[in-house]
Amino acid sequence: MTMARASSRRAGPDRGVAIIAALLVVTLAAILVAGLAWREQVQVRRVESAQLGSATQAIGRGAVDYARLVLRSSADASPSVDYIGQVWSMPLQRTRLSDFLTQIGEARAEQGLSTYMSGGIEDAQSRYNLHNLAVTVAGPTGPVIDPLAVASYERLLATLGLPPDLAQGTAQYVRAGQSSIGGGAGSTGANEFGAAGSTAAAQAATAAAGGPSAGALPLPLSSLSGLLDVPGYTPAMIVRLAPFVTVLPVATPVNVNTAPAEVLVAVIPGLSLTAAQTVVAERTKAYFRDTGDLQTLLAASGVSLPSGNTLSVRSQFFIVHADIQHERAEMHRDTLIYRAGPNPNSTRIISAQDIY
């Protein structure tokens, strides 16, 4: 009897330890299983996100291709003039992709039920092109600053309430950047964007002409954010300039049918902001078939259009803005399109920037 009681007392603690050990094993197993499940879920979500991103990219490319088709069709219908009111200038409000595909006769429209699109096409030549600040002339000196273009940019800065003296420093920066690739605005080299030439030779020529040394040449200005490398500019100034200024691969005229009043003031000496706003209002009634129509409108005010090719009624560069929402994925894509032509009218993507 005594031995049985002793054995029972020893078995009690052993059973307790066994139970605790079993609970620990079960808890550990549960933790391991939960960890594996969580990792698997993360991996699944990662794959889903990659798939959504790829699908969003594909939809964005499709939107750009459709915009290129619209630009070509517009040029076929009106080869000599571009103006606000043509099909390309009509913005696309936020629309379910399935509704859009149904309108153009796509048989699998139901696949776009969870996708939304919005955006539009903007005439890049409605803005002032900073590439115009420096031009290439015959001889070994490379690009030189165009004083008339600098004066235009000074007027634009003053109209926007920014320091006009930034124009000269900007022109020097643009000239140095063009020298670093051996080309410049208006140059005619191996390709249609004037990018031919020897970088080393251009740097040597620029240094010999008293410009920046070869080792100090900046990269070519390719976007407005590059202006932050020019002394005097601030991020707030870049935001203020963004609707009115651009950087294109070559020198371009301003399209008087699409340019805002502030840009018209910049490129037409003697034009007041009030008169420019009147021009914008008048062209909504009847677009300018050529620059002569604009000169006729301005004749009463005594303002004459500048000579040369600084103004036009036709554009070759356009910016396609596309906002895509595909399930959880969102993307904003800005694409610069070059439209050649006429006969035939063709389009080419110059650059694209995605913002997620």
Residue 56 lies in a domain: no
Domains identified in the chain, total number: 1
Residue 253 lies in a domain: no
How confident is the model at residue 27, as a pLDDT?
80
Residue 179 lies in a domain: yes
Residue 165 lies in a domain: yes
Prediction pTM value: 0.77
Q: Which residues, given as ranges, of the chain have pLDDT below 70?
A: 1-14, 44-45, 47-49, 100-113, 137-140, 181-217, 356
Contact 122, 263 (CB under 8 A): no
Residue 196 lies in a domain: yes
Contact 261, 280 (CB under 8 A): yes
Q: How many other C-beta atoms are found inside a 10 Å radius of the C-beta of residue 328?
A: 11
Report helix, strand or coil for 216.
helix
How confident is the model at residue 214, as a pLDDT?
43
How confident is the model at residue 101, as a pLDDT?
63
Q: In three state form, how does the secondary structure of 272-317 look?
A: CHHHHHHHHHHHHHCCCCCHHHHHHHHHHHCCCCCCCCCEECCCCE
Report helix, strand or coil for 209.
coil
> What is the residue range of 199's domain?
128-242
How confident is the model at residue 7, as a pLDDT?
54
Residue 199 lies in a domain: yes
Residue 233 lies in a domain: yes
Residue 75 lies in a domain: no
pLDDT by residue (tens digit) across 35-70?
Answer: 777 777 777 667 666 777 777 788 888 889 999 999
